[in-house]
Structure 1
Amino acid sequence: MPTAVSARTIEITDPASDEPVGSLVAATDEEAAEGVARAVAAFPAWAATPPAERGLRLRAAAQALAARADEVAAMNVRETGKSPGDAKGGVEAAVNTLLQYAELGPVHRGKRLRGAWDAIDVATPQPRGVVLALTPWNDPVAVAAGLLGAAIVSGDTVVHKPSERCPHTGALLDEVLAAALPEGVLVHVTGDGATGAALAADPRLAVIAHVGSTATGRSLAAAAVPNDVHVIRENGGNDPLVVDADVDPVWAASQAALGAFANAGQICTSVERVYVHRAVAEPFLAALVAEADAWTERSRQPLVDRRMRDAVAAQVEDAAAAGATVLTGGRVPDGAGVFYPATVLTDVPEGVSVLTEETFGPVAPVVVVDDFETGLRLAGADKYGLAATVLTNDMTHAHRAAALLPVGTVKVNAVFGGAPGGSAQPRAGSGSGFGYGPELLDEMTTTTVVHLGLPGGAA
C-alpha cells in the first residue's frame, strides 16, 4: 500500500517492501499551539543560560544520539528506503554537526566598535526566540541536526515538525535529543502539511527554518510576513552539470551518475540536467548508460513513496512524448516496492518539465551543446539557484562559471564535496539565508548594539 495521510492519521509503509511501518496521529491545531507555548515558556531561562553550558548540553545530546545511532538509522531505512550505509552515515553526520555547534556556539563572537574615546560600543549576538524547524525526509537526521543544533546552542528554543514521510524517525530523533535538554528547549510536533501551516501562522515564533519544496517554502515565507518572523529557506533545486570538451568522458560520466543517481536522485543538490559538449557527447553518453545500468543493478534503492515515483515517471513520459530518447531505464518495474531505474534521456527538447522542474529521482536528461558558452548559458537560465557543477580542464572556463552561474554553490570537477565549515546562500526559487555552517549561528541570532557613555558630568 502507498504512503497515505488520511483523517489526520499519518500511515507509513516501507518503500522497499510495501510492509507497514506504523501510523501516528497528526497534532491538532490546539496541540500544535501548546507545543509553541512550551517553547515560549522555556525561552527566557534557556536564553539566560551561559553559552558554555548550552554547548555542554548540546554535546550531551550528540553523545546520546551516537549511542542510539543504529536504532535511528534503522528507522530511517524503513521509512524512506535509504540504504543502511547512507542512513548510518546520516546519523554520524548529525552527531558531528551537533558537536561542531556545541563548540562554535560558545565562541560566537560579537564586535567592539570604535567611537568616542570616553564611550564603549559593542555589537553582541542575542537569541531570537522560538524557532520553528520544518525538516525534510531525504536526509532527515543530518539536516535536522544542523537547524536544531544551531538554534539550541544560540539560546533559542525549538519546535520541530519533521516531514510526514518520516514521522517515526523524527520523533525518535527528538526523543533522544530532548532527553539531554531542559524541558521545552526542544519540542516535537507530529504532523503533516496542515500542521506545519498552523505552526507557521503562530505569532509567537521568531524564526521559521525550512528545508523542503519551493512551493511550501514560499507559503511559509508569506505566512511569516504579518508576524515579522525571520525566515531561513533551503528549497528546491534544478542543479545543472556542464561537461566541457577537454575532459575524459568516462570520468565525466561517472561524476554525472554519482550526482544524478546517488540516494535514488533524492538529494537537494542532485544533478538534475546535463549539458555536454558535442566533442565528447558520444563516448560520454555510452559511459553514462553503462553507469546507469550498474547503479540500477547494485543500488536497489526505492523512491520514498508512490506519489514521488508517479511524479518522476510522469516527467520522463512527458519528455519522451515531446521527442526525447530514453537510452536506458524510464519504466516503472513490476513487483513490490517503490523502485525506479536509473534513467538516461537525450535529445531532450527545451521547455519540458524534466529540464525546467526539480525531478527528485534517478533521472539524467542530457542536452548536447556545440560549445562551453552555450552550456553555461543554458545552465544559468533557470528559476532555481541552489548549486551547479562544471567539469573542465580550462581554468578560464572554471572562472567564468564561478562568476556567471546564478547559484549559491559552484562546484568545479566534483559533483559533491566541500571544505568543513562551508556554507552557502541559495538564490531565487531555491530559498534564502545561510542554512548550514557557522553562518547559521548568525541566522539564529539577532545583533544588539550597545553604546555605553560616561554618566552625566563625569570627567
Structure 2
Amino acid sequence: MLAVEDPATGQRITAVPDCGPAEVDKAVRAAAEAWPAWHASDRHAALASCAVVVEEAASVLAPVLSEEQGKPLHEAEAEFAGAASRFRYFAGLRPGPQADGDGPVAAITSWNFPVQSAVAKLAPAFAAGNTVVLKPSPRTPLTTLHLGRMLAQVLPPGVLTVLTGQDPLGERLLAHPGIRKVDFTGSADTGKRMAAASAPEWRRLTLELGGNDPAIVLPGTDPAAIAERLFWSAFANCGQIGVAVERVYAVGSVHDGVVEALAAVAERVVVGGGRTPGTQLGPVNNRPRYDLVIGLTDEARADGARIVTGGPLGGPGYFFAPAILAEAHDGMRVVTEEQFGPVLPVVRCSTVDEAVGLANATAPGVCGSVWGADEEYAAEVAARLGSGTVRVNEHLAMSVDGPFAGSRWSASRAGLRG
C-alpha cells in the first residue's frame, strides 16, 4: 500500500493501492476492449454527466484535496469548479475527424493540481474518442482515486481506470504495448525519461513540463498598483504552479519600490492549514520540496541576497511564510532554477534590454509577463520574450478555451490523437 500524508502535520492520512504490472496490464486491456464502442458512440452526453459528477463531488472531496495537497479549502473548491467547466466545455465541442483518438491514453498527473490536471487530460481525450488509464502523483492520489470511482459510474466500463502507486508505475504504464499515447505533466527531468522510453515504439507523447516564469517590471511603474496581482501570480497555491511568476526583473529605480510593495503584501498573508478558516496560503506539499525551498533560500542569502520577509515557520507540517528576496542575481539557483515554492527573487536590472536578456536566458519557457503603466510599450517588450505565452500586467490568466503552449524545455509535443 502507498501511504498518503497530510502536509499540514507531516502525518499519515491513509493508504491507497500500490499497483504493479498485473494491475497495469488489466487496466490497459480493459481500456483497449472498451475503445471500439466508446469511439463509435455519441460521447457528449457522457462528458456532460462527468461535469455534473465533478460539481457534486466538490462538497465531499474538496476537503480531501485540501488535506492531501495542502491548499486552502476555497482553492480546492475552485479547482473542482474549474474542472467541471472543462468537462462542460468539451461536452459542447464537435471534434472533426482529424481529432479522433484511436486507442487507450495513459494520463500521468502532477501533485499541485490533482483534479485540474486530471480533467485537463480526461476531457479532451474522451471528446476525441480515447479511453484513459489515469495515474495520479503518488503524493496526491486520494482525491483522484475517489473521483475516478465516481466518474466510472457514468462512463462505460473500461473507459476510465485510475491506478495509484509509486515509481516505476508511470514507466510501466508508458511501456505497455496497448498504450497509444501518453499525456504527462511533471518535471523536465522526468519528461526527458518519458520521451526516451517512448521512442522505440514511436508512441505519441504530450508533455507539460516545468517552468521558471519571468516577470519584468518596467521603469515608471507604480509598485503599489501592481503588487497584489504580481504577488499572487507568484504565490498562489504556495507557489506550486508551473505557470507562476518565479523571478522578477525590476528595471532601474523601480526595484526598491517593488521589493517593499511585495513584502508588504507577504506580511499580511495568513499561512496555515488548508482547512483552517481564514488561511490564504497552505503548507508546501511535501518534505523534499520544502527542504529544497529552504536550501535555495539559504544558498541565495549566503551569496548576497537579502531576505526581506518570509521563511520556514517551524512546528509540525511544511509551513513556509512567503519569502521576498532582494538583491538576487542571475548566478543564484533560486533565480535560474524552478523553485516551485513560496519564494520570489527580485533582480535589479539597469536596462530593459538587460531584463529581457536575463528573462530569456533559462531553458524552461512556459509563460512570461511585462508590467508597466504604458501598456503599448509593455506589449512591445513582451513580444521579445521567448515564453510560450506572454501577458501584459497579468500573469495567471488561463481559460479553458485559451491557447496554452510552452517553448524550449517546457514545450508540449503531439496532439489529441492517440
What TM-score does the superposition give when structure 1 sets the normalisation length?
0.86
**What's the secondary structure of 1:272's corresponding residue?**
strand
**What's the secondary structure of 2:320's corresponding residue?**
coil
Q: Percent of aligned pairs with the same residue?
A: 34
Q: What is the match of residue 444 of structure 1?
A: 416
| TM-align CA RMSD | 1.6
1:36-87 Cα distance to aligned partner (Å, 9 max, x none) = 11111111121122xxx21101111221222221112111011011110000
Is it true that 1:387 corresponds to 2:379 in the alignment?
no
Q: Contact 2:132–2:160 at 8 Å: present in 1 too?
A: yes
* Superposed counterparts of 1:338-417, under 5 Å: 338-395=318-375, 397-417=377-397
Offset of 1:152 from its aligned partner?
1.0
> Which of 139, 146, 149 does residue 165 from structure 1 map onto?
139
Q: What runs of 5+ residues in structure 1 fail to find an aligned partner?
A: 1-8, 111-123, 435-442, 447-459
Offset of 1:339 from its aligned partner?
0.3
Q: What is the match of residue 177 of structure 1?
A: 151
1:133-158 Cα distance to aligned partner (Å, 9 max, x none) = 00111111112112101101211110
**CA 1:233–1:135: 2 relative to 1, 3 Å:** same
* Superposed counterparts of 1:249-264, under 5 Å: 249-264=223-238
Aligned pairs, how many?
411
Question: How far apart, in 2, do the equivalents of 1:368 and 1:290 lie?
Answer: 19
Instruction: From the CA coordinates, give the structure whose radius of gyration is larger.
Output: 1
Q: What is the match of residue 4 of structure 1?
A: none
Offset of 1:130 from its aligned partner?
1.0
> Which of 91, 98, 101 does residue 87 from structure 2 map onto?
98
Q: Contact 2:237–2:281 at 8 Å: present in 1 too?
A: no
Q: Contact 1:385–1:428 at 8 Å: present in 2 too?
A: yes
**CA 1:296–1:326: 2 relative to 1, 3 Å:** farther
Is it true that 1:10 corresponds to 2:2 in the alignment?
yes
Q: Contact 2:329–2:348 at 8 Å: present in 1 too?
A: no
* Superposed counterparts of 1:191-230, under 5 Å: 191-230=165-204
Q: Contact 1:241–1:390 at 8 Å: present in 2 too?
A: yes
1:406-429 Cα distance to aligned partner (Å, 9 max, x none) = 111101111221455102221111
> Which of 292, 305, 315 does residue 296 from structure 2 map onto?
315
Question: How far apart, in 2, do the equivalents of 1:178 and 1:391 lie?
Answer: 45
* Superposed counterparts of 1:65-214, under 5 Å: 65-104=54-93, 107-110=94-97, 124-214=98-188
Q: What is the match of residue 302 of structure 1?
A: 283
Offset of 1:296 from its aligned partner?
4.7
Question: How far apart, in 2, do the equivalents of 1:273 and 1:138 lie?
Answer: 19
**What's the secondary structure of 1:237's corresponding residue?**
coil
**What's the secondary structure of 1:268's corresponding residue?**
coil
1:205-227 Cα distance to aligned partner (Å, 9 max, x none) = 11110111111111111111111
Q: What is the match of residue 17 of structure 2?
A: 25
**What's the secondary structure of 1:242's corresponding residue?**
strand
**What's the secondary structure of 1:389's corresponding residue?**
strand
Q: What is the match of residue 456 of structure 1?
A: none
Question: How far apart, in 1, do the equivalents of 2:210 and 2:244 lie?
Answer: 11
Q: Contact 1:243–1:252 at 8 Å: present in 2 too?
A: no
Q: What runs of 5+ residues in structure 2 fail to find an aligned partner?
A: 272-278
Aligned partner letter, 2:347: V
Is it true that 1:34 corresponds to 2:23 in the alignment?
no
Q: Contact 1:77–1:84 at 8 Å: present in 2 too?
A: yes
1:280-330 Cα distance to aligned partner (Å, 9 max, x none) = 122221111111111255524101011110011111111111121111123
Q: What is the match of residue 274 of structure 2?
A: none
**What's the secondary structure of 1:142's corresponding residue?**
helix
Bigger CA drift: 342-351 or 356-365? 342-351
> Which of 54, 61, 65 does residue 43 from structure 2 map onto?
54
> Which of 421, 431, 436 does residue 401 from structure 2 map onto?
421
Q: What is the match of residue 121 of structure 1?
A: none
What TM-score does the superposition give when structure 2 sets the normalisation length?
0.94
Q: Contact 2:213–2:368 at 8 Å: present in 1 too?
A: yes
Question: How far apart, in 2, do the equivalents of 1:409 and 1:388 lie?
Answer: 6
> Which of 198, 217, 242 does residue 268 from structure 1 map onto?
242
Offset of 1:125 from its aligned partner?
3.7
1:224-262 Cα distance to aligned partner (Å, 9 max, x none) = 111111111111000001000122111232232112211
Question: How far apart, in 1, do the equivalents of 2:160 and 2:360 lie?
Answer: 40
